[in-house]
Amino acid sequence: MESNLRPEDELALAERAAVAPWIDSRPMPWWLAALGGVLPAGLVLVLGERDALHPALFVVATLVLVAAYSAWVGVISRRVGAYPRLRNAPPEFVPVVRAYFAGCVLVIAAIVVAYLVVGPWLAAIVTVVGFTGGLLLYQRRYAAVAEAVRRRVA
Amino acid sequence: MSHDALDPVIHAPKRLAAMAVLANSTSASFGFLRDHLGVSDSDLSKQMSTLERAGYVKVSKIRGPGGTTSFQITKAGAAAFERHLAALRAIVDATTSQLP
């Protein structure tokens, strides 16, 4: 056997490592959260104003925005480093994850309502405010919970 | 439960920690594991090669600029990790119950 640790210490080591995917990821800077709102808002606007745009401009703008959003997802993925399994979430994170998904549903519903009632410009504004604000709020709550879990497993 | 029930591949602390990370994530990057374990690139490569040879993890590599190496636990790895944890718990429980 290669371990000199006591079984209790090995279990504690495993417990700490098990929550690492939840607590060891780097926080998202504010500008990255802002991009997470601006890029989909651009897409909402371009799709909403498609009749007012030259067909070539519409295609180019859509492709650029989709590529930029894909790049944003790629950057986030590299920053995260490890994707935690939701079914193994530490109990402290369960309300945060639930609030995240509920927030996403609410923001999307607000975007759809804004689009249908007023139009694409308001829908784009709701997208920026909803996604950026939501991401920043989620990050703040997540960081507080991560700190509590860090203390628990320290 | 005796110490013989412990999996010698997972028993090393660095590999135990790596398996615990991977059992609780859908995938983890080389950099994340290196930083979490606090080891050098070469040490992590060595530890992960041992786990890969045992069939406990699989490696995915994205080549090119910004390319990444990431790891996922296999079904065999997840089962072996659970057995190892159960063996550890059994040893701890047995030790605790023998205390006066």
What are the sequence ranges of the domains in chain B? Answer: 3-94
Whether the per-residue pLDDT at A128 is higher than 90: the answer is yes
d(CA B56, CA B65): 28
> What's the structural domain count of chain A?
1
User: Residue A1 falls within a domain, yes or no?
Assistant: no
pLDDT band at A1 (very low <50, low <70, confident <90, very high): very low
Work out the average pLDDT over A112-138. Answer: 96
**Domain membership of residue A138 as a residue range:** 7-153
- For the purposes of burial, counting CB atoms within 10 Å of the CB of A108, is it exposed (0-12), middle (13-18) or buried (19 or more)? middle
- Level-2 CATH architecture, domain B3-94: Orthogonal Bundle (1.10)
- For the stretch B30-82, pLDDT in tens is 999 999 999 999 999 999 999 999 999 999 988 766 678 999 999 999 999 99
Question: What is the reported pTM?
Answer: 0.83
Query: Does A128 map to a domain?
Result: yes
Q: What is the pLDDT of residue B100?
A: 62
* Cα nearest neighbour of B2 on chain A: A7
Q: Does residue A2 belong to any structural domain of this protein?
A: no
Distances (CA, A) of A28 to A63, A101, B21: 25, 18, 21
Q: Tell me how close the Cα of B66 comes to any Cα of chain A, in angstroms.
A: 9
Note whether A69 and A40 are within 8 A (CB): yes
> Mean pLDDT over all residues of chain B?
90
Q: Which of B13, B19, B68 sits opposite A78 (nearest CB)?
A: B68
- % of residues, chain A, pLDDT over 70: 98
Q: Do A18 and B23 count as a contact with CB atoms less than 8 A apart? A: yes
> A3-49: per-residue pLDDT in tens?
677 889 999 999 999 999 999 888 888 899 999 999 999 999 999 99
* CB atoms B13 and A84 under 8 Å: no
ipTM value for the complex: 0.86
